[in-house]
Amino acid sequence: MAMQWTAHFEKQLAAILEELRTYVEMETPTHDKAAVDRLGAFIAERFRSLGCKVEVIPQEKYGDQLRIEYGMGTEQVMVLGHFDTVKEVGTLAREPWKIEDGRVYGPGTYDMKAGIVFCYFALKEIIEQNIPLQSKLVFFWNTDEEIGSESSEAWIRQEAKRSKCALVIEPAAGDGSLKTSRKGGGEFFLKVTGRAAHAGNDHALGVNAIEEIAHQIIAIQGFTDYEAGTTLSVGTIRGGTVSNVVPDFAEADIDVRVSTREEASRITALMQQLSPVLPGARLVVEGGICKPPMVRTPDTEKLFLLAQEQARLEGFALTERGVGGTSDGNFAADEGIPTLDGLGPVGDGAHASHEHVVIDAIPGRIAVLLRLFTAL
């Protein structure tokens, strides 16, 4: 009879929570390198003590990245996550570590320190019980996911290229679903220049930048195509000085989300081709789609079905979903490897003060990870 790993990890729950508490009580806002490195050193030591080969990839601006290798073989599975958070040092004083109503609260619990702790316990079990692996495991824990992975994107892509698939330990969707597709996205910045003039005396001499940007905003919003999974939202506008001056400047920031690479190209071209409606107005378009979409391919589906089967063996149902938000899974998938995201904790409140992880779901999630690590 197949081993029920869930029951096994239920017995370790106290130790798992204690480990998570240590992580959470070392606050790690992305911009605080010293703070992030403190936890990084701790995590490195924990995986080293399991017998892993730990490589610390030094960074100047953000925390050092960790590349952790276990096992042999030519094929490798990439396991991806981050230990930076959006919460400033001191958040813990307002949002302390707390266990209440079957949930554990604290900054970074759900997004996504619990995910790293899950991997640690799954791997520890594999090593202690001497369970054979089919592939080498490469854990890549980065430190700047929350601001777009400026210093880690290239490393993530390089590692993904060498891997046969990527498992992303970001939080599960609200209902526990894994994430098999993510939209890509980015931001465009539109700047409009007109010509200033006295609104009363010289109205005809002015070129009203706000009038011009109004035309552009209507056009941009119109690029939205819900069926294709493409949305554009003008999120902010600024312009003008006082009401009796025809404004010579206006600008807008635009959020873009796309589901396919084709749509990313289509929108990029449309944005670059924007042209002024008013004679004498000038447009500058900056920014772009920096995160490619994570597309659900037939190989993604196979990987999901394998995960679903592991959950079934543990006695629970696992579902999948596509989501709008991006993660580092977008970069891994863009390298052409099947990517399964949302394998981390069940909970809620990422980036919010009610951030928490559902305790009951922890043993089953670790069990699925253990099974995936050994099955792939």
> Of the ranges 63-71, 102-110, 163-171, 229-237, which one interacts with Zn ion (CB under 5 A)?
163-171
Of the two residues 240 and 349, which places its CB atom closer to Zn ion in the complex?
A: 349
Quick one: which of 224, 229, 213 has its CA closest to 274?
213
Q: How far is the CB of 171 from Zn ion (least distance, A)?
A: 7
Of the two residues 168 and 196, which places its CB atom closer to Zn ion in the complex?
A: 168
User: Using CB under 5 A as the criterion, what x/- string covers residues 110-139 for binding Zn ion?
Assistant: -xx---------------------------
Q: How far is the CB of 83 from Zn ion (least distance, A)?
A: 10
Of the two residues 288 and 325, which places its CB atom closer to Zn ion in the complex?
A: 325
Of the two residues 111 and 334, which places its CB atom closer to Zn ion in the complex?
A: 111
Of the two residues 17 and 112, which places its CB atom closer to Zn ion in the complex?
A: 112
Q: How far is the CB of 344 from Zn ion (least distance, A)?
A: 8
The residue type of 87 is K
> Of the ranges 64-72, 165-173, 191-199, 271-279, which one interacts with Zn ion (CB under 5 A)?
165-173
39-to-19, 86, 87, 300, 352 alpha-carbon distances in Å:
12, 15, 14, 32, 21
The residue type of 136 is K
148-to-79, 160, 359 alpha-carbon distances in Å:
18, 17, 29
90-to-40, 82, 100, 127 alpha-carbon distances in Å:
19, 20, 21, 37
Q: How far is the CB of 155 from Zn ion (least distance, A)?
A: 17
Q: Is the dihedral of CA 271, 276, 280, 281 positive or negative?
A: negative
Q: Which two tokens stand for residue 137?
A: 């495991």
Of the two residues 135 and 327, which places its CB atom closer to Zn ion in the complex?
A: 327
Helix (H) or strand (E) holding 2: none
Of the two residues 81 and 194, which places its CB atom closer to Zn ion in the complex?
A: 81
Query: Restricting to residues 169-198, which ones interact with Zn ion according to CB under 5 A?
Result: 170
Query: Restricting to residues 72-111, which ones interact with Zn ion according to CB under 5 A?
Result: 111
Number of residues that bind Zn ion (CB under 5 A): 3
Question: Is the CB of residue 80 less than 8 Å from the CB of residue 329?
Answer: yes
Rounded Cα–Cα distance for residues 166 and 148 (Å): 18
Q: How far is the CB of 166 from Zn ion (least distance, A)?
A: 15
Residue 220 φ then ψ, to 5°: -65, -45
Query: Restricting to residues 257-286, which ones interact with Zn ion according to CB under 5 A?
Result: none
Binding site for Zn ion (CB under 5 A): 111-112, 170
